[in-house]
Structure 1
Amino acid sequence: MGAALRRIQLGSALSAFGLGFTVPYLYVYVAQVRDLGAGTAGIVLAVFAMAALAVLPFTGRAIDRRGPLPVLIAASAVASLGAIALGVSSQVTTAVLAAAVLGAGTAVMQPALATMLVRCTGPATRTRAFAMQFFLQNLGLGIGGLVGGQIVDTSSPASFTLLFLIEAVMFLVLGVIAATVRMPGAPVGTPETVAGAPAPRGGVRALLSHRAMVQLCVLGFVLFFACYGQFESGLAAYGTEAAGIEPSTLGIALAANTAVIVVAQFVVLRLVERRRRTRVIAAVGLIWAFAWIVAGYAGLGHGSQTMATAAMISTYALFGLGESMLSPTVAPLVADLAPESMVGQYNSAFALCKQLALAVGPAVGGPMGASLHGPYIVTFVLFSLGITALALRLGRRLTPVQDQPALAHMPSRVVAVSVPESAPEPMATAR
């Protein structure tokens, strides 16, 4: 990695480390430590998510007009302010407002970091850069959660204030590191976006006219709805209610998920980076369908408690395997579909779909996982199979190089250009 890319990855990892200090304990902090009640805690979590939905539609255009660097620095400062405010909040109003500020800041950081990675890499290195970011962020979240767990004391609000202060400092460190990054003078495009293709006009209309990107956003929504949107809601409720596992076992299951990602990420990367991206995503759908079947056995199989516990832990581990396959495929594909002038808008649109799935997922999965055990498993087995179908369908809209970047390094190939359908069709360029 170059110096700029190393600094971006370091800042991203440290900000994830800061998030790990507070994310697992936010509900407990608001409901029990500040004694604001479960209802207020639910509102705080909802506001955290809704703030992201409110700012992301405007983030992409700001990134493309101002550049990702100043947007990231501003977002890190906002997130730091929100973390400090939440750490000292003892009233409902201040807690809700602080959660809104924190949610908005952290949401903007995601597409800004992704755009910086795109600008500091080329098609040959982008896949590994995004895989490294995913690996470091999960490692940072895991370590932050473990360290934070040694500090928290539900009888001492000061211990939680310390967690939020550490988080705020990590956000500021991200901003300081970002300020030292020297971005390339011009965006680095992919063969598809620069091989004779005219620069399309920006805006929502241009993005919506790009059918491949629209299909990718739909696929992204289903991916996050069927996985991340269930981790701390539906799947957790199902595990405790249907499978009868102890709540503490959920922590072990999440640790297994992170461990699989950390151990498998670069092994998986070697296996998938020369294969078609959509085929890899389709395989993730099959793996997750099997994971949901294993979860079904845990809650509906009437086996021993030990087997049910092992099955639930295995479910989280299988999800981790699928996640490690997505990190080098989905995010780089968003970047490779984006015209140079709209990289920020494409990243923000995909982040918006992700955030929407994370908001809708718990609302749908939570009640189902708690009471409708059989239908819950069947529903998400079907959603996982839907991932496979959507990925294979998307593959028919991509150019060969977009779907399999390794083809770009072959001595002879034909490059087909994929741009929004509203733009003039450029001629294929033979090389």
Structure 2
Amino acid sequence: MGAAMRRIQAGNALSAFGLGFTVPYLYIYVASVRGLGSFWAGIVLGVFALAALVALLFTGRVIDRRGPLPVLVGAAVTAAVGALCLGLANDLVSVLGSAALLGAGTAVMQPALATMIVWSSSPTSRTRAFAMQFFLQNLGLGIGGLFGGQIVDESRPASFTLLFAIEAGMFLVLAAIALSVKLPRNAAIADARPKGGKGGSGFRAVLGHRAMLQLCVLGFVLFFACYGQFESGLAAYGTEAAGIDPSALGFALAANTAVIVVAQFLVLRFVERRRRSRVIASVGLIWTVAWLFAGYAGLGHGSQTMATAAFVSTYALFGLGEAMLSPTVAPLVADLAPESMVGQYNSAFALVKQMALALGPFVGGPMGATLHGPYIVTFILFSLGITVLALRLGRRLTPAQDQPALAAASRVVAVHKAEQEQVSA
């Protein structure tokens, strides 16, 4: 990695570390510590998600016009203010306002960071750059959650204030690191703007790009069937249908993170030599097996130990699929984007992800808690749908987009042959 990429990845890891301090405890903080109850805690989480959706509608064009660096700094400062205010809030209005700032800020960071990674990498190094980003994000979230769990105490509101203050501090560190980044000269803002200095044609261009539109549909299904179920439908299904002890949910999430951390670079060699569409299709099959394990945990007639083991295996298999997706999907978004619209494409995909994460718990939560059989069948079908959609997407991709390593090798061979011809002449 170059100096710019190292700093971007360091800021990415530190911001994830800060998020890990508060994400697992936001519901408890609003409902119990501030005494607003479960209803308003749900509303606060909804405001958090809605603010993220609204902010992402405008983020892409701003990135393409002004560059990702000022957008990232502004988002980090906004998130820091939101986190600090949330830690000090003691009434409903201030909690809602703070959650909106925090949700908008953290959402905007994603496409800004992704665009900076694109500008600081080449098509051949991009796969590893996004794999490293995902690895550091999960590592930061895991370590942050671990440290946060040692500090948090429901009987002491000040402990939560400390958590949010640490989170705010990490966001400010991210802003400071971003300001020190010198993006490569060939990725200057002027080079990334369309002729006339206008930032693309917005989401209409994305919707008119058939391959990108198919990738967005595929992305929605991916995030809806996996991340959208982690802490809602799947957790409810595990406790209600499988009789999983709540403490075992922590082991399941730990297994998920452990597989990602261990497998990320082991699967990278496998992934970067193969077609992206087929890698994503294989993830659909892996997640189908994961949902079958979940079905056995809740609907089988084995012992409680076997049910718990199957349930933990579900999360572990999800982690394996995530490790395969991280060096595949994000670089594909970047390779599909015209040079002048990288920010718009990253923002559009982040918006799709946010919608899936918002709707996933809304649909999966009630189903996982009450309709156990239909819940498992539904998400087995979603996982098989991932495979079908990925294979269909592969037909629309160019060889360079679907398998960059092969295209890079072809370019090297072509250059080598040209040099040989010159020598012979």
Settle same-fold status: TM greater than 0.5: yes
Structure whose residues are more often helix by fraction: 2
Assess if the C-alpha contact under 8 Å between 1:200 and 1:206 holds in 2. no
Amino acid in the other structure paired with 1:244: G
- Kindly state the Cα deviation for residue 330 of structure 1 after the two structures are TM-superposed: 0.1
Q: Where does residue 154 of structure 1 map in the other structure?
A: 154
Contact 1:274/1:406 (8 A) holds in 2: yes
Match of residue 275 from structure 2: 276
Matching residue of 1:113: 113
Matched residues in 2 for 1:354 and 1:325: separation? 17
1:210-249, aligned counterparts within 5 Å?
210-249=209-248
Structure 2: distance between partners of 1:53 and 1:65: 20
Note closer, same or farther for the CA distance 1:280–1:60 as it changes in structure 2 (3 Å cut): same
Corresponding pairs, count: 406
Secondary structure at the residue paired with 1:5? helix
Map of 1:77 onto structure 2: 77
Classify the secondary structure of the residue corresponding to 1:410: helix
Post-superposition shift, 1:35? 1.0
Does 1:402 find its partner at 2:401? yes
Unaligned runs of 5+ in 2: 193-197, 415-425
Is this contact kept in 2: 1:83–1:164, CA < 8 A?
yes
Measure, in 2, the Cα distance between the counterparts of 1:41 and 1:236: 18
Taking only the aligned residue pairs, the percentage that are identical comes to: 77
Query: For the residues of structure 1 that align with 2:380 and 2:409, how far apart are their CA atoms?
Result: 38
Distance 2:163 2:107 in 1: 20
**Secondary structure in structure 2 of the residue aligned to 1:244:** coil
Report the counterpart of residue 255 of structure 1 in structure 2: 254
Q: CA deviation at 1:206?
A: 1.6
* 1:344-368: CA deviation from partner (whole Å, max 9, x where unpaired): 0000000000000000000000000
Deviation string, structure 1 residues 183-218 (Cα, Å, up to 9, x no partner): 122339xxxx9xxxxx99532222211100000000
Q: Deviations over 1:76-114 (max 9, x none)?
A: 000000000100111111111110000000000000000
The corresponding residue for 2:423 is none
Q: Do 2:242 and 2:298's aligned partners in 1 also have CA atoms closer than 8 Å? A: yes
Cα distance, 1:250–1:366 mapped onto 2, change above 3 Å: same
Deviation string for 1:409-430 (max 9, x for gaps)? 2245999xxxxxxxxxxxxxxx
Q: 1:40 to 1:238 in 2, by over 3 A?
A: same
Structure 1 counterpart of 2:418: none
The residue that corresponds to 2:350 in the other structure is: 351
Contact kept, 8 Å, 1:223 with 1:387, in 2: the verdict is yes
Amino acid paired to 1:287: I
**Counterpart-to-counterpart distance in 1, 2:106 and 2:186:** 26
Is 1:56 the counterpart of 2:32? The answer is no
For residues 106-157 of structure 1, give each alpha carbon's deviation from its aligned partner in whole angstroms, at most 9, with x where no partner exists: 0000000000000000011000000000000000000000000000011000
Could you say which residue in structure 1 is the equivalent of 2:203?
Answer: 204
Deviations 1:283-302 (A, max 9, x none): 00000011000000000002
Please tell me whether the aligned partners of residues 203 and 348 of structure 2 are also in contact (alpha carbons under 8 angstroms). Answer: no
Q: How does 1:84-103 map to 2 (within 5 A)?
A: 84-103=84-103
C-alpha contact 1:202 1:341 (8 A) present in aligned 2: no
| 2:316 pairs with 1:317 | yes
After TM superposition, the score normalised by the length of structure 2 is 0.94
RMSD of aligned residue pairs (Cα, Å): 1.6
Pairing 1:187–2:183 present: no
Cα distance between partner residues in 2 of 1:182 and 1:169: 23
TM-score norm. by structure 1 comes to 0.92
Distance 2:271 2:317 in 1: 17
Residue equivalent to 1:126: 126
Deviation per CA, 1:295-340, whole angstroms, max 9, x where unpaired? 0000000211001110110000000000000000000000000000
The answer to whether the aligner puts 1:168 opposite 2:168 as a matched pair is yes
Partner of 2:41: 41
Deviation at 1:377, TM superposition (A): 0.1
| 2:178 corresponds to | 178
* Aligned 8 A contact 2:62 2:199 in 1: no
Show the counterpart of 1:420. none
Q: What is the alpha-carbon distance in structure 2 between the residues aligned to residue 45 and residue 115 of structure 1?
A: 27
Q: Distance in 1 between matches of 2:396 and 2:270?
A: 23
Write the letter of the residue equivalent to 2:215. Answer: L
2:135 aligned residue:
135
**How far apart, in 2, do the equivalents of 1:309 and 1:269 lie?**
30
Q: Which amino acid aligns with 2:296?
A: Y
**For residue 15 of structure 1, what is the aligned residue in structure 2?**
15
